[in-house]
Amino acid sequence: MNKEIIQEAFIACYGARGAQIYTSPGRINLIGEHTDYNGGFVFPGAIDKGIMAAILPNGRREVRAFAIDLHEQATFGLCKNDLPAQGWARYIFGICRELIKRGVCVGGFDTAFAGDVPLGAGMSSSAALESTYAFALNELFDGRLDKLELAKAGQATEHNYCGVKCGIMDQFASLFGKAGNLMRLDCRSLEYRYFPFDPKGYRLVLLDTLVKHELAASAYNKRRQSCETVVAEIQKKYPQVQFLRDVTWPMLDEIKPSVDSEDYRRSRYVIQEIERVLAVCEALERGDYETVGAKMYETHHGMSQLYEVSCGELDFLNAVARDCGVTGSRAMGGGFGGCTINLVKDDLYGKFIHSAKEKYLARYGKEPKIYDVAISDGAKRMAKS
Ligand code: GLA
């Protein structure tokens, strides 16, 4: 992705110069899946792929937006009934509305954007889009919101305009990312800590099943609903419990007979996953990547068997990794498609990629896409050229 191309597309579209360029990244998550909306821990990092936008206030009460990759345009107002028809434009509209709700005087603007974070691949292209505009509009319209509030505005956009009741991990990672560092975020207190991540002798690589998870919103929301149902049941006896994060194993055992077995399985997964994140943090501090990898496999198993957010293609790539002797592998992100994240020893890398491509092609008639991961900085304004 290159800022000159975005700038040229903007000029071609609106005939004006002087737009500012902003960018915000997608994310990986080493471990801690479906724990964020349960008040648990996550362990993401921003990546070197994201969304880039040129933006210039236009002095009107109207937004004109151009999605360069899709060759689509949208024009919409800033009032609450002005929701645009195009899915991608709803993210921008949602951010405008959520910033306005938080006191930022967002006015009209012209914008063109493009991205190199693959859509629906579990790398949070939507959070990258939200964070780009949240960061930019807060700056361009003299908002005083801090990055945490911008992340919340992104999350609220998903909830209120896109129908996904997501947690805060993706927007947080996109805004707070720091090159070379993963972040451990406590999604209950919102305290976070950077962990330098430079696993000598290993590489992180994503294998994209090319199964798009875009239509998975209702399944995602249903998982969240299961967790909340179990919490509500536990609260009858333990009113202090707010999230599955607060639930102990004895509490869960106690209510087992009074909840649906599916909801029970979902909760088991979440509580185990929260424990796994903490175990991975400790292992990282010891430089113990074998344990990190073992926990990744455990997560995959839980996502597949208990939380049921995997799919045949993800399970297949996970099994290929295991057969090849890869240190850690699991489905990444919300699930239902997208990528596996793999922690691979340097000297196994070539063999693994070769074998994954060959086997996936034989089974599914196409090769998975391979993305090497560089852990990068979060949202920013690009310097003028
Ligand atoms: C999606 C959501 C996140 C998180 C993950 C699963 O990426 O946007 O909030 O719940 O799924 O960990």
* Contact assessment for residue 270 and residue 40, using Cβ atoms and an 8 Å cutoff: yes
User: Residue 122: pLDDT band by 50, 70, 90 thresholds?
Assistant: confident
Of 127, 128, 12, give the one whose Cα is nearest residue 68: 12
Tokens, residue 263: 């909801």
- Write out pLDDT tens, residues 310-328: 999 999 999 999 999 999 9
For the domain that residue 109 is a member of, what is the CATH number? Answer: 3.30.230.10
Residues 180, 73 share a domain? yes
Query: How many domains does the chain divide into?
Result: 2
Residues 251, 236 share a domain? yes
Residues 183, 135 share a domain? yes
> How remote is the CA of residue 94 from the centroid of ligand 1, in Å?
18
Which domain does 54 fall in, by range? 3-197+376-381
> How remote is the CA of residue 123 from the centroid of ligand 1, in Å?
10
Residues 353, 335 share a domain? yes
158 has pLDDT over 80: yes
Average pLDDT over residues 150-175: 97
Q: Which residue lies with its CA nearest to atom 1 of ligand 1?
A: 334
356 has pLDDT over 90: yes
> How remote is the CA of residue 57 from the centroid of ligand 1, in Å?
32
User: Residue 215: pLDDT band by 50, 70, 90 thresholds?
Assistant: low
Residues 206, 191 share a domain? no
- Write out pLDDT tens, residues 67-88: 999 999 999 999 999 999 999 9
Rounded to an integer, what distance in angstroms lies between the CA atom of residue 359 and that of residue 357? Answer: 6
Residues 193, 234 share a domain? no
Residues 180, 152 share a domain? yes
Residues 225, 193 share a domain? no
Which atom, in ligand 1's list, is nearest to the CA of 126? 8
Which atom, in ligand 1's list, is nearest to the CA of 122? 7
Residues 91, 9 share a domain? yes
Contacts of 178 (CB under 8 A, 6+ apart): 46, 194, 377, 378
Contacts of 15 (CB under 8 A, 6+ apart): none
Output the pLDDT for position 385: 64
Which atom, in ligand 1's list, is nearest to the CA of 158? 8
Residues 233, 305 share a domain? yes
Please return the burial class of 11, using the count of CB atoms within 10 Å of its CB with bins 0-12, 13-18 and 19+: middle
278 has pLDDT over 60: yes
Mean pLDDT, the chain, whole residue set: 96
For the domain that residue 347 is a member of, what is the CATH number? Answer: 3.30.70.890
Output the pLDDT for position 19: 97
316's enclosing H/E stretch is helix 312-324
**At how many degrees (to 10) do helices 261-286 and 217-237 cross?**
90
Tokens, residue 365: 């008639």
The pick from 119, 170, 270 for probing ligand 1's pocket by mutation, whose C-beta has the most ligand atoms within 8 angstroms, reads 170
> How remote is the CA of residue 61 from the centroid of ligand 1, in Å?
33
How many of the other CB atoms lie within 10 Å of CB of 278?
A: 16
Rounded to an integer, what distance in angstroms lies between the CA atom of residue 143 and that of residue 39? Answer: 28
Q: Which residue lies with its CA nearest to atom 8 of ligand 1?
A: 166
Annotated active-site residue 170? The verdict is yes
The pick from 27, 29, 34 for probing ligand 1's pocket by mutation, whose C-beta has the most ligand atoms within 8 angstroms, reads 34
Of 325, 326, 327, 324, give the one whose Cα is nearest residue 293: 327
DSSP summary character for residue 30: S
Q: Which residues line ligand 1 (CB under 6 A)?
A: 33-34, 36-37, 124, 166-167, 169-170, 333-334
Rounded to an integer, what distance in angstroms lies between the CA atom of residue 295 and that of residue 33? Answer: 12
Rounded to an integer, what distance in angstroms lies between the CA atom of residue 246 and that of residue 150? Answer: 27
User: Residue 214: pLDDT band by 50, 70, 90 thresholds?
Assistant: low
Residues 143, 107 share a domain? yes
> How remote is the CA of residue 372 from the centroid of ligand 1, in Å?
21
The pick from 35, 169, 273 for probing ligand 1's pocket by mutation, whose C-beta has the most ligand atoms within 8 angstroms, reads 169
> How remote is the CA of residue 168 from the centroid of ligand 1, in Å?
8
Average pLDDT over residues 132-137: 98
pTM score, whole prediction: 0.96
Of 295, 277, 135, give the one whose Cα is nearest residue 193: 277
Residues 258, 122 share a domain? no
Residues comprising the chain, all counted: 385
Q: Which residue lies with its CA nearest to atom 5 of ligand 1?
A: 334
Q: Which of 170, 208, 263, 315 is catalytic?
A: 170
